Structure 1
Amino acid sequence: MAKKPQLAIDTRPWRDTANNKPFVRIRNVSKKFGDIIAVDDVSLDIYKSELFCLLGGSGSGKSTLLRMLAGFENPTSGAIEIDGQDMTAVPPYDRPVNMMFQSYALFPHMSVEQNIAYGLKRDGLPRAEINARVEELLALVKLEDYGKRKPHQLSGGQRQRVALARALAKRPKLLLLDEPLGALDKKLREETQFELVKIQESLGVTFIVVTHDQEEAMTLATRIGVMNQGEIVMVGEPTDIYEFPNSRFVANFIGSANMVEGVVSEDEPDHIRIRSSELGCDIYVGHGVDCAPEQRLWWAIRPEKMVLSREKPAGLNGANVATGIVEEIAYLGDISVYQIALESGKRLRVSQTNSVRGNPDAITWEETVYVSWDEDAGSVLTS
């Protein structure tokens, strides 16, 4: 008799908040510097073994929030709990937390081994235990043969891994990383992102990473908290943040999006129709939306969700097909990005995969083309 396949266990505790307790609780936390509100009434739950990314632009409050978790700044109001303990009166050195800075802050006169062992020696651990821990961490970050070297003898990626090993040496329950890959070049940063994920998964330590790099957050994170002007404006898994943004800010901040303004002309339980003078056609959305007839709203669609063609496709109920002229083409190797000028003056960005090598039939400059999309390809946004 065939064995019944077992259902995979969902290891994402944030999807079952009734049966999972947050490891980090941030409750109504605000931070003011004089008249400036750096963090504004932030509440956030982060679960054990997450790799959570705080993503935002300069001045969004993400680093200030991280410093409050570390204990380097005190909240003006609100409370922070880590592993069930209120951190309000706990100094940084007594928190079950370590922090890895963007500069790495390695001691230049010490070897790699001595840098990693520094905190353990300060805590008075036996030499044999320190040596075993250092050896274990060197293997974890794949620097077994570099223990005797000084930081200046290492590449940027190697120094980053030494700083990570040192931050993990005291086995913190929570590791805070402030722009950890910001000093690396693009190719090395991409390689190191996957290494960082592997290390975090193998240890099970909860990581909170601050970054302004959207691609980095999408690669690293189990979940992302998008920050703007001191507030968390959306929290979700990378696919949720990208595919289902909750506002124009999030849609524009994460990746590239075409943003179109329109007016609701049909509002039904199973669909809505948006009249768009910018597109020169209606937008048919294949699901209901909480809106009203004649309401002004916005529709966002990613460049890769649109299709270019020379022949006019059959539109859905006479909608979802715009026409324009190819104004610019950016060839990026794996994809080409087309800028299409519509009659209204609106410009759309449409990307296509370059699946055919040296395609002689590729759409080119100054051609008249049709841009089409599926009924569920875009996001309707009311704010």
Structure 2
Amino acid sequence: MTEATSARALKPWEDPNAKPFLQIRNVTKKFGAFTAVNDVSLDIYQGELFCLLGGSGCGKSTLLRMLAGFEMPTSGQILIDGEDMSGVPPHKRDTNMMFQSYALFPHMSVEKNIAYGLKRDGVPRAEIATRVTEMLSLVQLDGLAARKPHQLSGGQRQRVALARSLIKRPKLLMLDEPLGALDKKLREETQRELIKIQETLGVTFVVVTHDQEEAMTLSSRLGVMTAGQIVQIGTPHDVYEYPNTRFVADFIGSVNIFEGKIAEDADDHVVIRSGDTASDILVSHGISGVKGQSVAVALRPEKIAIERTLPESLPNRLAATVDDVSYMGNLSVFHVTLPTGKQVKVSQTNRRRSEDDAIRAGEAVQIGWDGAASVVVTA
């Protein structure tokens, strides 16, 4: 353990003595000859809000359905709070699942929708009333108990579905694309509310989403999935700043990729010779690689400076021509072309209101970045 790590409280996934709440061990799911989930292993800890992130068909929803008990693994093992879930049907698991469609009963009031699971379980009326009142307050729907789903906004229906999922006090709540039906502004507001509710209750959440921003905003950690496998697990910061493969670098956010070969390999830096830039790229940290190896340099648009003239002290500087500029309000996005024909995306925060000295399409500029700004990926 480093001094920096010992100086702060360990996160559960950093603590070798912490016991995972959810353990997925070498789980595979096949449908005939098709492998939907391929030998996935994953530990999730009590109170985490974990996101499974990936594109359509990557296996994330199939994995979630296996956690819920709606599908059985072809091989492998799933343990929840130390209990093997092999052969345990959904209604016998101390879990619940919230679907993208919300699946509310249209003829029932908000109150009855939320209370439905408790009523089926035979919970006494007085306790149902108390727990429904608590849940309405938690999801900020006080005063709307008598309304029907069609009388609610999309965000309110989402909160009713969430309250119904949580009222039985599951140990694990699974959410399948829970905010997909909401518009951008409402989705952002609901994300914050979802985090507050999860933190208040301390229930372990596993969220499936294809939305990168949503996964980055919600999760304590996330797992990036493709072709039935989890290719990287980490905090949003780690996955974004330190992608371990070209796929992850390209899938999470925007990125520029420069192809090249290792020309110099030292403990504290490497030099990548790239035909995309027609020059060497300095990376001011060591990597796992050998001289002559083909690699890719991943560089986020916001890590790149763009000016008419950049200081010579910047280790990586390239001449470029501005193709177009997109004004996005809080930032401007520049698409530029290098003399080699390589196109590069650069983003810059708009700190000034005036456009008088703004860089415009057609101008000759320089772009550049620090040696620590880029990440070298080999797969």
**Which residue number corresponds to residue 14 of structure 2?**
15
**Which residue number corresponds to residue 148 of structure 1?**
146
Mapped to 1, the partners of 2:7 and 2:154 lie a distance apart of 39
**Which residue number corresponds to residue 333 of structure 1?**
329
Q: Give the letter for the 1:201 counterpart.
A: E
CA deviations on 1:81-114 (whole Å, 9 max, x unpaired) are 0000000111100001000000000001110000
**Which residue number corresponds to residue 212 of structure 2?**
214
SS in 2 for 1:146: coil
Q: Give the letter for the 1:363 counterpart.
A: I
CA deviations on 1:219-252 (whole Å, 9 max, x unpaired) are 0000000000000000000000100000110001
Q: Give the letter for the 2:192 counterpart.
A: F
Mapped to 2, the partners of 1:182 and 1:288 lie a distance apart of 41
- Listed as ranges, the gaps of 5+ residues in structure 2 are 1-5
1:359 positional shift: 2.6
Residues 270-309 of structure 1 correspond to what in structure 2 (within 5 A)?
270-309=268-307
**Which residue number corresponds to residue 3 of structure 2?**
none
Mapped to 2, the partners of 1:312 and 1:188 lie a distance apart of 41
Contact in 2 for aligned 1:29/1:43 (Cα 8 Å): yes
Given the alignment of the two structures, is residue 354 of structure 1 paired with residue 350 of structure 2, yes or no?
A: yes
1:142 positional shift: 0.3
**Which residue number corresponds to residue 165 of structure 2?**
167
Q: Give the letter for the 1:13 counterpart.
A: P
CA deviations on 1:312-334 (whole Å, 9 max, x unpaired) are 42155xx4111110001111110
Mapped to 1, the partners of 2:7 and 2:214 lie a distance apart of 28
Q: Give the letter for the 1:332 counterpart.
A: M
CA deviations on 1:281-304 (whole Å, 9 max, x unpaired) are 211111111111111100000000
**Which residue number corresponds to residue 130 of structure 1?**
128
**Which residue number corresponds to residue 97 of structure 2?**
99
Mapped to 2, the partners of 1:311 and 1:58 lie a distance apart of 43
1:53 positional shift: 0.1
1:370 positional shift: 0.6
Mapped to 2, the partners of 1:83 and 1:292 lie a distance apart of 44
**Which residue number corresponds to residue 265 of structure 2?**
267
Mapped to 2, the partners of 1:374 and 1:93 lie a distance apart of 55
Mapped to 2, the partners of 1:14 and 1:354 lie a distance apart of 38
Number of aligned residues = 374
Given the alignment of the two structures, is residue 184 of structure 1 paired with residue 182 of structure 2, yes or no?
A: yes
**Which residue number corresponds to residue 3 of structure 1?**
none
Mapped to 1, the partners of 2:129 and 2:199 lie a distance apart of 24
**Which residue number corresponds to residue 4 of structure 1?**
none
Contact in 2 for aligned 1:315/1:321 (Cα 8 Å): no
Aligned equivalent of 1:371, options 342, 345, 367: 367
SS in 2 for 1:145: coil
SS in 2 for 1:88: coil
1:280 positional shift: 2.3
Q: TM-score, normalised by structure 2?
A: 0.97
Mapped to 1, the partners of 2:192 and 2:310 lie a distance apart of 43
Residues 235-274 of structure 1 correspond to what in structure 2 (within 5 A)?
235-274=233-272
Contact in 2 for aligned 1:26/1:45 (Cα 8 Å): yes
**Which residue number corresponds to residue 37 of structure 1?**
35
**Which residue number corresponds to residue 228 of structure 2?**
230
**Which residue number corresponds to residue 116 of structure 1?**
114
Mapped to 1, the partners of 2:13 and 2:150 lie a distance apart of 42
RMSD: 1.1
Identity %: 63
Contact in 2 for aligned 1:313/1:372 (Cα 8 Å): no
Q: Give the letter for the 2:354 counterpart.
A: G
Mapped to 2, the partners of 1:11 and 1:127 lie a distance apart of 43
Q: TM-score, normalised by structure 1?
A: 0.96
Mapped to 2, the partners of 1:123 and 1:355 lie a distance apart of 57
**Which residue number corresponds to residue 380 of structure 1?**
376
CA deviations on 1:190-232 (whole Å, 9 max, x unpaired) are 0000000000000000000000000000000000000000000
- Listed as ranges, the gaps of 5+ residues in structure 1 are 1-6
Contact in 2 for aligned 1:281/1:320 (Cα 8 Å): no
1:264 positional shift: 1.0
